[in-house]
Amino acid sequence: MRIDDESLKGLLRARGLRVTEPRVAVLAYLASTDRHPTAEDVETAINANGQVLSRASVYNVLHSLTRAGLVAGMSVTDGAARYDAHVAPHHHLLCRTCGRVEDVPWQDFGIAERGVLPDGRSVRTLALTLDGVCNACC
């Protein structure tokens, strides 16, 4: 999904973040894919466009965007953290064949809504991780 840079800059400003080239580039890239890229993927993709973005900056930017709620990070077993500009609640399917991380429609199970487990422990957010096989891998 191609979003023009002006909208992205508006998003950054709206969250009180300074508008910088690295931030716009990272956010644009993450918004353009549903592949849940790693920090390294982000660095590679952006530097392929002629820019030079240091590894440390990739992490800096990912952290500010995450703190601002524009991006969500997730840790999958073994390996690098992955990032998602799709911040509306949803679950993930980790394909055991190709390693891809795919989206799964949101379901609340009535838990987050109540905010409390039957035994009284309180719940802020929940995430379901499915270990299975994606459509591409049949």
Partner DNA sequence: CCGCTCGTCTGGAACTATTCTAAATCTCGT
Partner DNA sequence: ACGAGATTTAGAATAGTTCCAGACGAGCGG
The site for Mn ion (CB under 5 A) is made up of: 84, 86, 103
Which residues between 60 and 119 bind a copy of itself (CB under 8 A)? 73-78, 81, 93, 96, 102, 104, 107, 109, 111-112, 117, 119
Distance CA 42, CA 119 (A): 42
Exactly one of 5, 54, 114, 132 binds a copy of itself (CB under 8 A); which one?
A: 132
Question: 3-state class of 111 per DSSP?
Answer: helix
Query: 95 vs 111, which CB is nearer to Zn ion?
Result: 95
Q: How many residues bind DNA (CB under 7 A)?
A: 27
| Amino acid making up residue 62 | L
Write down the least CB distance from residue 119 to a copy of itself, Å: 8
Residue closest to 23 by CA, chosen among 48, 36, 42, 41: 42
- Size of the chain, expressed as the number of residues it contains: 138
Task: Write phi, then psi, for 3 (nearest 5 degrees).
Answer: -115, 135
Give the interface with a copy of itself as residue ranges (CB under 8 A): 73-78, 81, 93, 96, 102, 104, 107, 109, 111-112, 117, 119-135
